[in-house]
Amino acid sequence: MRNDKSLHLWEEANKVLVGGVNSPVRAFKGVGGTPFFVVSGLGAHITDVDANVYTDYVLSWGPLVLGHAHPHVVSAVCRAMENGASFGIPTEGEIRLAERIRARIPSIKKVRLVNSGTEATMSAIRLARGYTGRDFIVKAEGCYHGHADTLLAKAGSGLATLGIPTCPGVPSMHAQHTLTMPFNDLDAAKELFSAHGDNIACLIIEPVAGNMGVVLPQPGYLKGLRALTARYGALLIFDEVMTGFRVALGGAQERYNVTPDLTTLGKVIGGGLPVGAYGGRADIMDHLAPLGPVYQAGTLAGNPLTTSAGLATLDILEQQGAFERAKAAMTTLSEGLGEIARETGVPVFQTQAGSMGCLFFHDGPVHNYTDAAKSDTARYATFFHGMLHRAVYFAPSQFEACFTSIAHDHGTIEKTLEAAREVFKELG
């Protein structure tokens, strides 16, 4: 497999971009080696500058549930572009996307569109604080909610990959107001609330954690958090930036039948363009400017390119059988990898939620970040490079999710499993 053009670009990139990238998770620090440079994608595949074609299980870190360059999305965005990229004046697409979100996620009565998941969570936290008049927030260890100051404590994802426990540049004031607890430990949450409950504005959580690998909530955990926050008058925020339209069309809250006060979204609802959204109870959302005093704004928020890409994506995903197809692809992949691991005697722990999944190289269950961190990251790196060498691209870190799309057909996954069979022999 040739990579001289990628290597050349990597050298150039490092001269002008910090660490060669615009987001640290892209830098292969968790697996070693250097990233390739992509030129195009189509369906389940991406092509790099050296003309290598890979099967892609990262899908831009989640958004591309239809695969790359789906024709319906491409034509919708081209049409929108021809009409002008942005106005900063209301456009109909904003209403339609908000309606579609509300139709699928009934806990969301009103929506605010923003430009990234980070903006969505940061703004939802501000709103929760403004609404309750309280300062403290609670988050779970290993959950990633974007890179806002208050939310960077024990934040999984890239920080876990890079081994950054606390981030310099975050004022201690912010850290002091962020209380952390282990995921899946309701007693720990109860203790935090009994000590600080009257000062807690909100508890924010990924209902299915997707940024420490994929970790499922234990039975009753989310319902327990719902009851606990309600008892103390704190808001429950489900960060469904990753799980929205992935775990179920109505997100993890539909799958686990728990109603949060606020929900944050991103990724899939932008169809590959920059996006975020938050929404929830109308009485809370109405505290936002211009109706209320909690200020949050955005020059490009709800812009026509994003809303057209998002709507086109949801059009296709909501067609009969489409969501199930993306999910079935993950089931086939997951079962296949499980079988190969058993045959070769490599201990793994697997999780799946809709079209998200994870293969932990860990001998035993993974219920929280402490468990996830015990994974054999060196073995993951060997797996990653073995697969990459065979033209299959998984996330360059053990602590990330794997994604499938409606374009990952049976033949594609069979080829992936053939490659995995070879790689696991080397691991065993």
Ligand X SMILES: *Cc1c(COP(=O)(O)O)cnc(C)c1O
Interaction of residue 116 with ligand X, rule CB under 6 A: yes
Both tokens of 270, joined, read 């932008």
Span near ligand X by CB under 6 A; candidates 85-93, 117-125, 287-295, 334-342: 117-125
Residues 213, 401 contacting (CB under 8 angstroms): yes
Query: Cβ of residue 151: shortest distance to ligand X, in angstroms?
Result: 8
Which backbone phi and psi does 286 adopt, to 5 degrees?
Answer: -70, -5
| Neighbour count for residue 76 (Cβ, 10 Å) | 23
Among 141, 239, 254, 400, binds ligand X (CB under 6 A): 239
Interaction of residue 63 with ligand X, rule CB under 6 A: no
- Taking the least distance from each CB to ligand X, the nearer of 6 and 313 is 313
What lies within 8 Å, CB to CB, of 257 at 6+ separation is none
Among 107, 121, 334, 398, binds ligand X (CB under 6 A): 121
- Taking the least distance from each CB to ligand X, the nearer of 211 and 416 is 211
Helix count (H) and strand count (E) of the chain?
15, 14
Interaction of residue 256 with ligand X, rule CB under 6 A: no
For ligand X (CB under 6 A), the number of binding residues is 15
Span near ligand X by CB under 6 A; candidates 114-122, 192-200, 245-253, 367-375: 114-122
State how far the Cα of 50 lies from the Cα of 404, in Å rounded to an integer. 24
Which residues are annotated as catalytic? Answer: 144, 239, 267
Interaction of residue 371 with ligand X, rule CB under 6 A: no
Task: Single out the residue of 409, 254, 262, 391 nearest to residue 322, CA to CA.
Answer: 409
Q: How many Cα atoms sit within 13 Å of 257 on the Cβ side?
A: 2
Both tokens of 53, joined, read 């074609």
Query: Cβ of residue 267: shortest distance to ligand X, in angstroms?
Result: 6
- Taking the least distance from each CB to ligand X, the nearer of 268 and 423 is 268
State how far the Cα of 254 lies from the Cα of 101, in Å rounded to an integer. 13
Among 43, 130, 266, 310, binds ligand X (CB under 6 A): 266
- Taking the least distance from each CB to ligand X, the nearer of 240 and 261 is 240
Both tokens of 73, joined, read 């999305």
Query: Cβ of residue 201: shortest distance to ligand X, in angstroms?
Result: 18
Query: Cβ of residue 33: shortest distance to ligand X, in angstroms?
Result: 23
x-or-dash pattern for ligand X, window 197-216, by CB under 6 A? Answer: ---------x---xx-----
Residues 418, 333 contacting (CB under 8 angstroms): no
| Neighbour count for residue 124 (Cβ, 10 Å) | 31
Closest-CB residue for ligand X?
117
- Taking the least distance from each CB to ligand X, the nearer of 61 and 131 is 61
Put the strands of the sheet holding 402-403 in their side by side order: 349-353, 356-360, 402-403
Residues 246, 62 contacting (CB under 8 angstroms): yes
Q: Where are the beta strands (DSSP E) in 141-234?
A: 178-181, 200-205
Query: Cβ of residue 216: shortest distance to ligand X, in angstroms?
Result: 15
Interaction of residue 117 with ligand X, rule CB under 6 A: yes
State how far the Cα of 158 lies from the Cα of 156, in Å rounded to an integer. 6
| Neighbour count for residue 110 (Cβ, 10 Å) | 17
- Taking the least distance from each CB to ligand X, the nearer of 125 and 234 is 125
Q: Let me know if 89 is exposed, middle or buried by CB neighbors in 10 A (0-12, 13-18, 19+).
A: exposed
Query: Cβ of residue 339: shortest distance to ligand X, in angstroms?
Result: 29
- Taking the least distance from each CB to ligand X, the nearer of 237 and 311 is 237
Q: Cis omega (within 30 of 0) on the bond before 260?
A: no
x-or-dash pattern for ligand X, window 275-294, by CB under 6 A? Answer: -x------------------
Q: Rule CB under 6 A: which of 133-172 touch ligand X?
A: 144-146
Span near ligand X by CB under 6 A; candidates 169-177, 235-243, 304-312, 375-383: 235-243
Query: Cβ of residue 88: shortest distance to ligand X, in angstroms?
Result: 21
- Taking the least distance from each CB to ligand X, the nearer of 145 and 325 is 145
- DSSP 8-state secondary structure symbol assigned to residue 248: B
| Interface residue list for ligand X (CB under 6 A) | 116-118, 121, 144-146, 206, 210-211, 239, 241-242, 266, 276
